Amino acid sequence: MRRDPFLPTQATVALVLMLAASSGTAQDRRKVVEPTIPPVCVTLQAKLTLHDGKLVADDESKLDTDRLQRALRECAPGKAVELATAESTNAFLTGPLQIPAGVTLLVDGGVTLEASRDPRLYDVQPGSCGLVNDAPPGCKPLLSVSNAPHAAVMGDGVIDGRGQEPLLHQQITWWDLAEKARSGGRQQVPRLIVADQSNDFTLYRITLRNSPNFHVVFSHAHGFTVWNLKIDTPQHARNTDGVDPGSAEDITVAHSFIRTGDDNIAIKGSEGGVGFMTVEDNHFYYGHGMSIGSETYGGVHDILVKHLALDGPDNAIRIKSNPSRGGIVERVTCTDVCIRNSRWPIVMQTNYNNPGPFTNRVPQYRDIHLQNVRIAGGGTVSIEGFDEQHRVSASLDGVLLDVPQQYKLIATHAAITYGPGPVNFILKGDDVFASGKPLKGTLAPCGTMFVPFESVNN
């Protein structure tokens, strides 16, 4: 893969992360370096072939699930099950798989691991997957990592959830079910990768496509490394979040490229909260941006977002919650960020998405720092606290709009600190207090931070 000139060397990244950790900066507390691919315990060769990117109808029943699961189960911890091409074959077809502790699923370049379109394979209970209802979640994920520390998914190949293709013997797709659920009910569709209670989980160099729902969920654990991940899913695919950590600590997402139909990253601060997370040297494209929330009732704290390019997202830097699921979000720093062509380049919202009955979970955002943020293409900047007792406390230090007159500025219930870096706009509104002074000045241009997605995709 062509090297992105925006990315520093591996040694530089390791040094930066180590120095920042030693200085007490809010971020992943681990010393994170580029992962390495472990030795292979067994190599499995593909038996199927994609034609114009798809399986032929006769191959839809030729599942590789049993041989894949057997190989994963028999592989020793610290080693990898390798999926490889053969002379004319390049695809595997599978239902849900479980990755054991210490084992890596290694998908070689040129290989696609295709998710089966048969909803019966994903049923938690008979008939529970592939519909819309009000029942609890009814689908297993494609790849499950449960109570399996030190597991990983790696390689230069592709894992395709096939959310856009009709379910077997039906005319409806997984994504159609998501659209149907807009009118009420739960879309019963599988997620692509779910890691739960599995410390030290790693995603490295893999491409994920077309998940029926969230692409990656990591929860109830410590230590999650995402390095050079690519997520490539259409903008219209509803509820296809990229990477969602929840109830977790010590997380790094680095050198990754994400475009999808919902949040590029969504930090879910539900029970247990999320803390000590680094998002560094990444590129986001369409999607709903670098998001925190909407669940924040467990707390979100000590988050560092650094060297991030957001090119064309609906939202860019976003904190969202409401009084039915809010909590404290604090010590969040976004520094050296480039944003262009976003409808909402900065949004901090405490009444997100029809909050429903008021509860005592009122959102409170404090100690939020935006530093060296360059925005182009117009849009709305919105910082809205809940009330006088729950103001947003934020600093703007080097935050510039390309043409300030082209932006809508909204603020209420906020305490804003300006400077010392230049800020070329002022937020005014009900119960808005300011300290410091916006100053004229310039910031370094974004330059090579914007890289076409197609130039980095497998």
Alpha carbons within 13 A on the beta-carbon side of 144: 15
Nearest to 12 by CA among 27, 33, 29, 26: 33
Q: What are phi and psi of 82, to 5 degrees?
A: -95, 130
**In whole angstroms, what is the distance from residue 302 CA to residue 249 CA?**
10
**In whole angstroms, what is the distance from residue 419 CA to residue 423 CA?**
7
Measured at the alpha carbon of residue 370, what is the angle toward residues 392 and 317, in degrees to the nearest 5?
Answer: 80
Q: What are phi and psi of 176, to 5 degrees?
A: -60, -40
**288 an active-site residue?**
yes
Neighbours of 2 (CB within 10 A): 7
CA atoms 444, 447, 452, 457: torsion sign:
negative
- How is residue 23 written in tokens? 């200085």
Neighbours of 307 (CB within 10 A): 22
The one catalytic residue in 215, 283, 288, 301 is 288
Using a 10 angstrom Cβ sphere, with 0-12 exposed, 13-18 middle and 19 or more buried, the burial of residue 403 is exposed
- Which residues, in sequence order, are bridge partners of residue 277? 251, 303
Q: DSSP class of residue 271?
A: T
**In whole angstroms, what is the distance from residue 426 CA to residue 105 CA?**
51
The one catalytic residue in 28, 64, 241, 262 is 262
Query: Which residues are known to be catalytic?
Result: 262, 288
